[in-house]
Amino acid sequence: MMTTENLLIELFVEELPPKSLKKLGDAFAGQLAQQLQSMGLTDPNSITTAYATPRRLAAHITKVLGKASDKAVQQKLMPVSVGLDASGQATQALLKKLQALGADVSDPVAAVASLKRAPDGKAEALFYDSLVTGATLETGLQKAVEEAIAKLPIPKVMTYQLESDCALPGWTSVNFVRPAHSLVALHGQTVVPVKVLGLRAGNTTQGHRFEAAVSPVVLVDADHYAETLARDGAVMASFAQRKAEIARQLDAAAARIGNGVRPIEDDALLDEVTALVERPNVLVCTFEKEFLEVPQECLILTMKANQKYFPLLAADGKLTHQFLVVSNISPEDASAVVGGNERVVRPRLADAKFFFDQDRKRTLASRVEGLSKVVYHNKLGTQGERVERVRAIARALGSQLGGEALSRAADVAAQLSKADLLTDMVGEFPELQGIMGGYYARHDGESQDIAFAVEDHYKPRFAGDSLPRNDVGVVVALADKLETLVGMFGIGNLPSGDKDPFALRRHALGVIRMLVERGLALDLQQVIALASAQFGTLLPDAKLSNDQVLHFVYERVAGYLREQGFTAQEVDAVIGVRPQWGEIPKCLAAVRAFAELPEAAALAAANKRISNILKKVPEADGHISEDLLQEPAEKALYAAMRATTPTANAQFDAGDYTASLKTLAALRAPVDAFFDGVMVNAEAPDLRLNRLGLLKALHTAMNRVADLSRLAS
């Protein structure tokens, strides 16, 4: 049995892009392991550990062979009729093929004798057995490291110069995400002599830029990488461990302050800060309380986005005047670090206060006219024209959902909804659009309903986000999202693959959530047509694009409901009958309960059969003449329907969909008997139409809650 050793690869570089670091570290380690595995250089039970700090990408891979096993390979050469002539001698084509494979063809007869003949489809073919020598770790690792570097998810590389180490003096150009300075490749304690990016592998690296105990840091073997870096280099190499340590220190610092104070939760910020430090040290800083007069969203955003600080929230969720800094150094006296960060944040907060004060000198209403000078899309006009479309849609939706009062309030909120785009604060922080509009609307004396609607009309902004808080906000949010969907589809800006630059999938999901979770009594096809009508002649083929929007939204409905835990069959069955939006959850629960009944499978199969029959006979209208019922089975089915459907319909009308389907389950036996004993397509036209009418009435009665045929396997 071949012995194995653990392998360590480290690429030491200048500061890597923090938002990409985790992805780069995982990709580097994953590609290395995959390449070595494909060459047979790793054990099936090898474990790969990725390391990533601001200045290094590394991977530790267990059970790596010094040389891969030799491998027997059988290759198909060609059909026997091509490789051998009539006398069984090798043709020139066969000899050339063997020679290209490195086989000895000095004795053609012996060469042919070494081949195997075996059936290959309808013909017989020649096969050549050879032994492929396993790759050595040196050659295999060289290829693996090159591949891992080439396949890193780097959007843009740097070109830099390295002094040539060859006989000729000069410089060589290197392309990589950041300049690389050293390479470590250790198989156990042995350096593997690979070379990439102009670097030769060794066993030394650099530790913390300021706090390393020694320089360089010598790595004695592959298995004590993290420990050696921590001890001699003052570096925590593992991204995951460093992230966990920062989270621990953040919580501990907040606990020391007391009074229920907690750091803001933001996993993306935590990842980014983890990618900025090699030795985290959390410090508490403060700013002047007067800045708390500014909306806390502004202060939080400027601290997070510009400075990578963690704001501290009080127990009631309000921002405090303290914040946490994750430093990359740990001096005995941290006062200089604390003071420096406090000085840096002060002008940022002062800017936010200045923007807030300046913005409030003008009302939102006074800014609306300026939207006519802001281009929304070159095919769809200005933001001002867009606002007018949203207003019209909002007025109509408001009238449908709440009458004149809701329509007027939605019109006002829609008119003001985009005005904050022209404020200094939103100009500096686009993420605050809507939020600042709400603050400024309150300052201007608008009602709380209007202010909430202006603030909330972008909601839900992301998966799991809350819906608008009031009816006005829901109406304006629906109008805004419908205007975007209809407009973008109308000019051909459809999502494709993973590309969705206008976030149309998110807009569609927002529409769905408001319709379903708020139980809105709206016909989606009608409201899409309503939105489309506001574009006048801007949309080249409005009917086609409206149909595309409808299909697109219903596709998202199915996905949204499956994410709630319902199966594709259950979702298809309910969506197939297009129930009222607010009834969808109850219909799904009813279908799930029905599917558990012993009669469910047979009734679903019968429904499918009935659906297929009725598709061919559109004239079937559900009319039944009792006098034309001749066979005992059709009479029994008719009687059973008269006994059960009134009860089932009453339960349906009362909203008890589960009970309605359970009542209809009693029809299983008479339905089975009908198909066993009755010829639907009777020769006599009146009998045939009567039986089709019976099936049509049965189909209508059974499919009010859901299209049960879609439950058939």
Do 128 and 144 belong to one domain? no
Domain boundary residue, one of 359, 378, 404: 359
pLDDT band at 169; cut points 50, 70, 90: low
Burial of residue 541 (number of CB atoms within 10 Å: 0-12, 13-18, 19+): exposed
pLDDT at residue 29, rounded to an integer: 97
pLDDT, tens only, 33-56: 999 999 999 988 999 999 999 999
> Is the residue at 120 inside a domain?
yes
Instruction: Looking at the structure, tell me whether residues 140 and 23 fall in a common domain.
Output: yes
Shared-domain flag, residues 189 and 290:
no
Q: In the numeric block, which tokens belong to residue 382?
A: 């200005």
Q: Are residues 254 and 189 in the same domain?
A: no
Whether 570 is in a domain gets the answer no
Asked if 439 and 558 sit in the same domain, the reply is yes
Please state, for a pLDDT cut of 70, what percent of the chain lies above it: 98
Q: Note whether residue 605 is domain-resident.
A: yes
The predicted structure's pLDDT at residue 164: 59
Same domain, 127 and 158: no
* 572 in a structural domain: no
The CATH number that applies at residue 193 is 3.30.70
Indicate the average pLDDT of the chain: 92
Any domain includes 262: yes
Tell me the two tokens of residue 33.
């392991």
* Domain's final residue, options 322, 342, 359: 359
Domain shared by 225 and 270, yes or no: no
Position 72 pLDDT exceeds 80: no
Judge whether residue 710 has pLDDT over 50: yes
Residues 181 and 49 in one domain: yes
Tell me if 575 is assigned to some domain: no
Report d(CA 420, CA 435) in Å as an integer.
Answer: 9
CATH number for position 624: 1.10.730.10
Domain span at residue 451 reads 366-565
Overall number of domains in the chain = 5
Claim to verify: residue 265 and residue 372 sit in the same structural domain: no
Q: From CA 399, how far away is CA 39, in angstroms rounded?
A: 69
Where a domain ends, among 565, 599, 622? 565
pLDDT at 167 over 50: no
Q: SS3 for 172?
A: strand
Residue 574 lies in a domain: no
Which segment of 108-117, 184-193, 293-302, 362-371 scores lowest on mean pLDDT?
Answer: 108-117
Helix or strand or coil: residue 28?
helix
Parallel, antiparallel, or unpaired: how do β-strands 171-176 and 158-163 relate?
antiparallel
Rg (alpha carbons) of the chain, rounded to whole number: 36
Give the pLDDT of residue 372. 96
Q: What is the pLDDT of residues 483-530, one digit of tens each?
A: 999 999 999 999 988 889 999 999 999 999 999 999 999 999 999 999
pLDDT of residue 170: 58
- Same domain as 703, residue 683: yes
Q: What pLDDT digit, counting tens, does each position of 623-678 carry?
A: 898 889 989 999 999 999 999 999 999 999 999 999 999 999 999 999 999 989 88
Is the predicted pLDDT of residue 168 greater than 50, yes or no? no
Q: Which two tokens stand for residue 322?
A: 């303290």
CA distances from 487 to 407, 477, 481, 493, 523 (A): 22, 15, 10, 9, 19
Averaged pLDDT, 356-383: 96
What are 380-431's pLDDT values in tens digits?
999 999 999 999 999 999 999 999 999 999 999 999 999 999 999 999 999 9
Do both 341 and 286 map to the same domain?
yes
Which pLDDT score is estimated for 68?
85
576 assigned to some structural domain: no
- Enclosing H/E stretch for 285: strand 281-286
3-state secondary structure (DSSP) of residue 325? strand
CA 89 to centroid of chain Cα atoms: 61
Q: Are residues 418 and 475 in the same domain?
A: yes
Q: 619 falls in which pLDDT band (50, 70, 90)?
A: confident
CATH number of the structural domain spanning residue 554: 1.10.3210
Question: What is the predicted pLDDT for the residue at 74?
Answer: 81
